[in-house]
Amino acid sequence: MARLPRLVVPLQAHHVVQHGHDHQAIFREPEDYDRFLGWLRDSAKAYKVAIHAYVLMPSQLQLLATPSDEDGLALALQRVGRYYVPWYNAKYGRSGSLFQGRFKTSVIEAPAFLMQCSQYIELTPVRAHAAADALAYPWSSYAHHAGVRPDPVITDHGLYWALGNTPFQREAAYKELAERGLSGAQLAAIEQAVLKGWPLGSDAFKVDLQNKAKRQVLPAKRGRPFKVKPAEG
């Protein structure tokens, strides 16, 4: 099934995934991660995109972000690429594209799925066996949400603040959610949505989003409708 055109909705949370070209490395050394995060922070600020969670893996990056307008998310990531790709190519003596085409994104129904998506992103290193636990991996926003160190890239979502009345309560509640983990069905739903470009949410959310966007945001049903109802039996 063909992937739907990318949908970006202002003031809605989005799960963003970007791979390296042919799944090659886009980060090799600590300096690479640091440079990318610095440009991501500045670019998100420049285009008014709130970054709620992230993980940088050697050949992939994921973000949970809310843009303030329809163009800001793409412009912010384009700006990061304009700085990072030439720098990376010069450092490692390479040329050409670094990222695999355009980034993929899924619009998230925040009340129901935002915390799940945040945990999905930050627990990626654990699922990939790159770290024993989320806190042991330095290139994600988990340490920020767990209260270990503040992260200047992150703008906390209101649903994170709703986890508790004090920083300690919020951090403890978030760590408890992360320790509980996600079910196989939850993992599959998040992965399918972002890879296919589908919204992640309830049926009502998807229909409302389609009506507001005035375009298709759901996968088309396979096959042609019958002109005459087929006989039973």
Within a domain: residue 222?
no
The Cα–Cα gap between 182 and 123 comes to: 10
Within a domain: residue 219?
no
Q: Which of 134, 110, 109 is nearest to 57 (CA)?
A: 134
Within a domain: residue 211?
no
The Cα–Cα gap between 77 and 198 comes to: 20
Sorted by sequence, the CB contacts under 8 Å of residue 7 that are 6+ apart come out as: 105, 107, 197, 199, 209, 213, 215, 217
Summarised one tens digit per residue, pLDDT across range 15-65 is: 999 999 988 999 999 999 999 999 999 999 999 999 999 999 999 999 999
User: What's CA 41's distance to the chain center, in Å?
Assistant: 15
Within a domain: residue 3?
no
Q: Residue 54 belongs to a domain with what CATH number?
A: 3.30.70.1290
Within a domain: residue 203?
no
Strand partners, 106: 15
Within a domain: residue 8?
no
Summarised one tens digit per residue, pLDDT across range 122-177 is: 999 999 999 999 999 999 999 999 999 999 999 999 999 999 999 999 999 999 99
Within a domain: residue 215?
no
Domain count, the chain: 1
Provide the domain limits for residue 48: 13-198
